[in-house]
Chain A
Amino acid sequence: MTDFHPQVKQLLDGELTLADLPAALRPEGVEALRLLAAVDREPVALPSTLDARVLAAVRARAARPSLWRRFLAPREIRVRLRPWTLVPALAAAAALVLFLSSPARTPTASTVTVRFVLFAPDAQQVSLAGTFNQWDPAATPLVRTGSPGVWSATLILPAGQHQYAFVVDGARWVADPGAPAVDDGFGRRNSVLSL
């Protein structure tokens, strides 16, 4: 019979002490405690290079344009919303999402249909401004979709290179961290869209 006696198990669990055990069980109790004493509790320290690797991955993800895969590889469309939350109290720019739908050429060979999506549950109003609409924040509002907090707009844009940003609540200009970003010359960043 190799199983420990139930009371010895209680000993192991720390619910009984050796003195609580009947004399007959004490040797088994001692054996059990020896087993516990042999547990290796040495802390394990991982190398700090791990931090650097994690940060590298984090930075790569922060800079990664989620739209490229879709428009250059028109095999499948996978919606990947990154629900960054707007925190008005912090001055940090909110990060938003651009989702590009089917890149199939529309009847006009030199235009592409583009769907912009933003997850901003706290926003009252969202619009899109860029080189294609003279940066007019009123020209291209996004509308709420069926999913809570999700806004979208679909545009037909001419082929070529465009720069854009989202405008939230009429005042906050934010670029898409998923898209390539360039200095806008005014202290902010614009997102780049190449069609």
Chain B
Amino acid sequence: MRTFRAFLLLALVGGGTTLRAQDISTRLAGRVSPEVAALVQRLATSAAARGLPVDPLIQKAIEGGAKGVPADRIAAAVRALAGQLDVAAAALTRAGPTHPDTDAIAAGAFALNAGLNDTNVTTLARVSGPRHTEAATLRVAGTLAAMGVPAAQTVELVTQVIEAGGESADVLALPGQVSEGVSHGRGVTPAQAAAGLARAAAARANAPGQQKPKPPHP
């Protein structure tokens, strides 16, 4: 089945390859060296063939060019990002039967870059369920990790909130709440703030007669 899907993708991508190549070279023209542009094109083509999003790769190359980064460094960064996209895609595939969408893969790569590992990504994707998009869950988790919440606490917090019946707004509110906890507590670390929120979510989930929690007060 997977082979068939891959074949389908190849067929689809095959038809659009020419257009994509033009898109890429247009976007990169004048922003990166021809060598880097050629590399990105190669990486993007094969990435697309694997069902990975291409835009992050182009963005990263443009970013490197704008920052005046040497060509080999840009190349390394784009390759590394392609690797992260691969890992994210694999982690998402382990989470569920459907092929992961490119948004989710990009969000997964973001989460990996922020410090989560592929197991975390799989867990978060599984936990997302029908009410939350994997992409949104992973973006929030990546943001929490970027704020300094350790991976384990990040996963626990997001999981608790979702399993307690939280809405997507509740999940999106998490970084702000951790930030509040840090700024209002004396010497409270992001990890501690996150742990506190997770306990609160668990308590709400376990409270008798509790259906859905109210949106947390900011």
* Chain A residues near B (Cβ < 8 Å): 53-54, 56-57, 59-61, 63-65, 68-69, 71-73, 75, 129, 131, 134-137, 161, 173, 180-188, 192, 194
B104, CB-defined interface residue at 8 Å: no
User: Which of B63, B80, B113, B177 gathers the greatest number of chain A CB atoms within 10 Å?
Assistant: B63
Q: Of the candidates B80, B110, B175, B183, which one forms a contact with A182 in the assembled complex, judged by CB atoms under 8 Å apart?
A: B110
B119, CB-defined interface residue at 8 Å: no
A192 to B111 alpha-carbon distance, docked (Å): 12
Set of chain A residues within 8 Å of B64, measured between Cβ atoms: 185-186
Contact yes or no, B218 A73, CB < 8 A = yes
Contact yes or no, B187 A180, CB < 8 A = no
* Chain B residues near A (Cβ < 8 Å): 31, 59-60, 62-67, 69, 73-74, 76-77, 80-81, 107, 110, 113-114, 139-140, 142-144, 146-148, 172-173, 175-177, 179-180, 182-183, 186-190, 218
A57 to B140 alpha-carbon distance, docked (Å): 23
A152 to B191 alpha-carbon distance, docked (Å): 32
A185 to B59 alpha-carbon distance, docked (Å): 12
Q: Of the candidates B76, B187, B218, which one forms a contact with A69 in the assembled complex, judged by CB atoms under 8 Å apart?
A: B218
Contact yes or no, B62 A72, CB < 8 A = no
A101 to B46 alpha-carbon distance, docked (Å): 41
A81 to B9 alpha-carbon distance, docked (Å): 50
Complex: chain A residue closest to B76, CB-CB: A185
Contact yes or no, A68 B175, CB < 8 A = yes
